[in-house]
């Protein structure tokens, strides 16, 4: 497994300065809604879900602490699934533009 150099690690840590608390049973990113941020789960149990034609919601994945669940939004925007908090969640927000700059610097 590769290692992250100290400068890159500091850069990533600096991106995670904003956090938000999401209440349980709350949809906090809607399908088709662009946020400008990536979301990193600090704690709690959120899920990705899709709304079905019969009005029900299908859970497509559960997320664990440390997951960056919308990394694909760097290239696919807006998201094609909603994010829903099953329990209270703490989330770090990372600017997509800042992360893209860091990726270009390290490439």
| pLDDT, one tens digit for every residue, the chain (107 residues) | 345 567 666 666 677 768 889 999 998 888 877 777 888 888 899 999 998 999 998 999 999 888 887 777 667 667 778 889 999 999 888 887 777 777 777 56
- H helical segments located in 1-107: 6-15, 96-106
pLDDT at 2: 47
Rounded-to-integer distance, Cα 105 and Cα 20, Å:
28
| Angle between helices 96-106 and 6-15 in degrees, nearest 10 | 170
pLDDT at 8: 62
Could you tell me which of 38, 40, 45 has the C-alpha nearest to residue 84?
A: 45
- Tokens coding 47: 């899920």
pTM of the predicted structure, to 2 decimals = 0.73
């Amino acid at each position: 497994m590769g290692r992250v150099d100290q400068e890159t690690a500091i850069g990533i840590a600096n991106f995670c300065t904003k956090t938000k608390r999401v209440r349980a049973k709350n949809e906090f990113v809607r399908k088709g809604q662009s946020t400008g941020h990536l979301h990193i789960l600090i704690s709690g149990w959120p899920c990705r879900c899709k709304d079905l034609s019969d009005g029900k919601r299908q859970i497509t994945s559960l997320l664990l602490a440390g997951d960056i669940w919308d990394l694909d939004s760097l290239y696919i925007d807006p998201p094609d699934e909603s994010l829903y908090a099953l329990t209270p969640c703490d989330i770090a927000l990372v600017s997509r533009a800042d992360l893209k700059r860091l990726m270009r610097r390290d490439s």
